């Protein structure tokens, strides 16, 4: 309760009563009288009410009396204190709202002057409009509405046909007379040819200019003109010994027409074959032939017959036997055709170019590349193939040093020790003769697991 007493007796936070005096009439008002200014200030700026401050002071005294009068606070005193606090809160809020309104409306004198001028000007303009006769005719409402919103009657067929315009055919482009310009010196880009062309001729002394300049292949440029006379004049002017470029007449290419058709007397089955090949793109093996195609069609027809017999619930014994025979014949024909084709492929290689085709095919097949990077046990990644190979080597084939395993330590220690075992008996004469008899003088004696070494 001491906090309540301290806040109620503090008067420094209250606003000053001199705020209203700051809102005064400007020194030289324009089009604003003293009565208008006082009326506007009285309507827009409320006066600060002293009753709120008196009300707060009285209720604060009531709270202190209720607290100091009795040692114990009764229910009645509590209710009185609550009511006083509510009244203080309400008065404080109203006082705050008034101060906020005063501060918001406390503008500068120049701003008040501008607002007054705008208001008076608007009033004068409206009064002039009210006095003037209405000479301006208003536009109909239908003109303001979008045409898509206004419902209109559907046009008749005759109107549609009459208003329909046939599409104009674009004229065939005419190739203009042109020359092909190339540099006499060796150049590395078309830009150098353009610079040489500009330095060789100037169009200031002519009454025309090229219609278009295009870049073409081999670092050349194509210069087009409106007519043939202009082209010939520039061609004669540029072809002289001191010129930096050469100019030739551009040749007109004749239109290329490709006609594709068949004879009228072509049989129907050939037409079907021609149209079928032209419409479908099939990727067949190089050893595929007509015999294999016929066998394939027989297998497909047999399969369709079996499906029809199943639907009609008829016996399938003969069809199943025929299916087995056709499949075996089809598989054997494929095997023979592929083998014959591979044999022909191998026979194409002579003595001089042994394995040339095979090696060329093997080179075209991309080899399986090792991983370019690898994550180590430390959580890092290898940066080069050498680090990757070293990581694999240490992971799968670690060093067998004497410090890593007791067995390796014992083996290294016993390396120089001579074993205490009896020596092998020497070969006898009979054993040597028996071995010599088993040898063939026409062959090189070698173990079967050792290959020829050249």
* 1 token code pair: 């309760």
Decide if 323 is inside a domain.
yes
Residue 450 has a CB neighbour count (10 Å cut-off) of: 7
pLDDT of residue 5: 38
Euclidean distance between CA atoms 89 and 81, whole angstroms? 12
Using one digit for the tens of pLDDT, what is the confidence trace for 300-333? 999 999 999 988 888 888 989 999 999 999 999 9
CB within 8 Å of 66: residues ≥ 6 apart: 73, 77, 80, 81
Using one digit for the tens of pLDDT, what is the confidence trace for 196-247? 888 888 888 888 888 888 888 888 889 988 888 888 888 888 888 888 888 8
pLDDT of residue 294: 92
Domain stop point among 302, 331, 361: 361
pLDDT of residue 10: 37
What are the beta bridge partners of residue 268?
none
pLDDT of residue 254: 64
Phi, psi of 322 (to 5 degrees): -65, -40
Using one digit for the tens of pLDDT, what is the confidence trace for 150-167? 455 666 666 765 666 655
Assess whether 331 and 224 both reside in one domain: no
pLDDT band at 88 (very low <50, low <70, confident <90, very high): confident
Euclidean distance between CA atoms 190 and 215, whole angstroms? 7
Structural domain containing residue 222: 178-249
Assess whether 8 and 113 both reside in one domain: yes
Work out the percent of the chain whose per-residue pLDDT is above 90. Answer: 9
Q: What is the CATH number of the domain that holds 197?
A: 3.30.70
Q: Which secondary structure element, helix H or strand E, spans residue 311, and what is its range?
A: helix 290-311
Decide if 183 is inside a domain.
yes
Euclidean distance between CA atoms 153 and 150, whole angstroms? 10
Q: Which of 108-117, 121-130, 389-398 has the lowest mean pLDDT?
A: 108-117
Please count the structural domains in the chain.
3
Read off the pTM: 0.24
Phi, psi of 310 (to 5 degrees): -65, -40
When pLDDT is averaged across residues 5-17 and rounded to a whole number, the result is 38
pLDDT band at 339 (very low <50, low <70, confident <90, very high): very high
Between these two residues, 437 and 103, which has the higher pLDDT value?
A: 437
When pLDDT is averaged across residues 335-346 and rounded to a whole number, the result is 88
pLDDT band at 95 (very low <50, low <70, confident <90, very high): confident
Closest CA to 395 of 375, 414, 410: 375
Assess whether 7 and 109 both reside in one domain: yes
pLDDT of residue 79: 77
pLDDT of residue 365: 62
Decide if 262 is inside a domain.
no
* 301 token code pair: 């027809």
Q: Is the pLDDT at 54 greater than 80, yes or no?
A: no
Q: Which secondary structure element, helix H or strand E, spans residue 221, and what is its range?
A: strand 220-224
Mean confidence (pLDDT) of the chain: 73
Assess whether 117 and 16 both reside in one domain: yes
Decide if 258 is inside a domain.
no
pLDDT of residue 81: 78
pLDDT of residue 394: 86
Assess whether 296 and 349 both reside in one domain: yes
Dihedral angle over CA of 192, 193, 195, 196, nearest 10: 120
Assess whether 27 and 119 both reside in one domain: yes
Kindly tell me the burial class for residue 178, based on how many C-beta atoms sit within 10 Å of its own C-beta (0-12, 13-18, 19 or more).
Answer: buried
Q: Where are the alpha helices (DSSP H) in 17-74?
A: 34-44, 51-69
pLDDT of residue 219: 84
Assess whether 15 and 121 both reside in one domain: yes
Assess whether 322 and 206 both reside in one domain: no
Euclidean distance between CA atoms 320 and 328, whole angstroms? 12
Decide if 72 is inside a domain.
yes
Decide if 68 is inside a domain.
yes
pLDDT band at 60 (very low <50, low <70, confident <90, very high): confident
Decide if 279 is inside a domain.
no
CB 59 within 8 A of CB 84: yes
Euclidean distance between CA atoms 223 and 212, whole angstroms? 6
Using one digit for the tens of pLDDT, what is the confidence trace for 399-442? 766 667 777 778 888 878 887 888 888 889 999 998 888 887 77
pLDDT of residue 8: 38
Phi, psi of 384 (to 5 degrees): -125, 165
Dihedral sign, Cα of residue 150, residue 154, residue 159, residue 165: positive
pLDDT of residue 384: 87
Kindly tell me the burial class for residue 33, based on how many C-beta atoms sit within 10 Å of its own C-beta (0-12, 13-18, 19 or more).
Answer: exposed
Assess whether 243 and 311 both reside in one domain: no
Assess whether 122 and 46 both reside in one domain: yes
Euclidean distance between CA atoms 227 and 379, whole angstroms? 76
Domain stop point among 361, 377, 408: 361
CB 232 within 8 A of CB 182: no
Q: Is the pLDDT at 107 greater than 60, yes or no?
A: no
Residue 52 has a CB neighbour count (10 Å cut-off) of: 19
Scan for tokens 């209203």, then name that residue.
20
pLDDT of residue 367: 67
Quick check: helix, strand or coil at residue 60?
helix
Closest CA to 298 of 338, 271, 275, 325: 325
Euclidean distance between CA atoms 327 and 299, whole angstroms? 7
Q: Where are the alpha helices (DSSP H) in 135-250?
A: 141-144, 157-163, 190-200, 228-238
When pLDDT is averaged across residues 54-61 and rounded to a whole number, the result is 75
Using one digit for the tens of pLDDT, what is the confidence trace for 237-276? 888 888 888 888 887 766 666 666 777 777 877 777 776 6
Decide if 113 is inside a domain.
yes
Between these two residues, 380 and 53, which has the higher pLDDT value?
A: 380
Domain stop point among 249, 268, 303: 249
Assess whether 296 and 213 both reside in one domain: no
Assess whether 9 and 117 both reside in one domain: yes
Closest CA to 212 of 184, 250, 255: 250
First to last CA, the chain: 115
């Amino acid at each position: 309760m001491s906090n309540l007493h301290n806040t109620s007796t503090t008067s420094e936070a209250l606003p000053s009563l001199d705020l209203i005096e700051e809102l005064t009439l400007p020194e030289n008002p324009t089009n604003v009288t003293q009565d208008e200014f006082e009326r506007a200030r009285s309507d827009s700026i409320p006066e600060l009410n002293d009753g709120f401050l008196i009300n707060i002071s009285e209720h604060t005294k009531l709270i202190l009396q209720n607290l100091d009068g009795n040692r114990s606070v009764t229910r009645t005193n509590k209710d009185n204190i609550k009511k006083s606090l509510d009244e203080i809160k309400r008065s404080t809020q109203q006082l705050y709202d008034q101060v906020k309104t005063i501060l918001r409306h406390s503008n500068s004198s120049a701003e008040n002057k501008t607002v007054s001028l705008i208001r008076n000007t608007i009033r004068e303009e409206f009064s002039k409009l009210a006095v003037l006769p209405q000479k301006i005719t208003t536009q109909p409402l239908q003109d303001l509405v979008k045409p898509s919103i206004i419902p209109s009657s559907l046009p008749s067929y005759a109107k549609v046909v009459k208003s329909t315009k046939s599409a104009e055919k674009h004229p065939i482009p005419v190739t203009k007379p042109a020359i092909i310009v190339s540099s006499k010196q060796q150049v590395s880009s078309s830009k150098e040819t353009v610079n040489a062309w500009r330095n060789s001729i100037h169009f200031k002394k002519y009454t025309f200019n090229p219609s278009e300049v295009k870049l073409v292949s081999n670092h050349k440029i194509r210069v087009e003109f409106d007519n043939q006379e202009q082209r010939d004049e520039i061609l004669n002017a540029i072809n002289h010994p001191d010129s930096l470029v050469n100019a030739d007449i551009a040749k007109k290419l004749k239109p290329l027409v490709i006609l594709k058709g068949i004879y009228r007397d072509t049989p129907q089955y050939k037409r079907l074959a021609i149209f079928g090949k032209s419409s479908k793109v099939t990727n067949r093996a190089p050893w595929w032939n007509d015999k294999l195609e016929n066998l394939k069609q027989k297998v497909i027809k047999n399969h369709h017959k079996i499906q029809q017999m199943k639907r009609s619930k008829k016996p399938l014994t003969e069809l199943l036997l025929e299916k087995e025979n056709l499949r075996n014949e089809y598989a054997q024909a494929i095997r023979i055709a592929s083998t014959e084709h591979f044999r022909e492929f191998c026979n194409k290689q002579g003595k001089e170019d042994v394995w040339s085709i095979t090696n060329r095919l093997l080179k075209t097949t991309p080899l399986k590349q090792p991983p370019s990077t690898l994550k180590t046990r430390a959580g890092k990644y290898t940066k080069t193939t050498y680090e990757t190979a070293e990581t694999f080597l240490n992971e799968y084939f670690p060093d067998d040093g004497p410090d890593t395993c007791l067995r390796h330590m014992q083996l290294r220690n016993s390396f120089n020790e001579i074993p205490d075992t009896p020596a092998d008996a020497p070969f006898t004469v009979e054993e040597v003769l028996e071995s010599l008899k088993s040898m063939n003088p026409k062959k090189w004696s070698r173990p079967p697991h050792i290959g020829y070494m050249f």
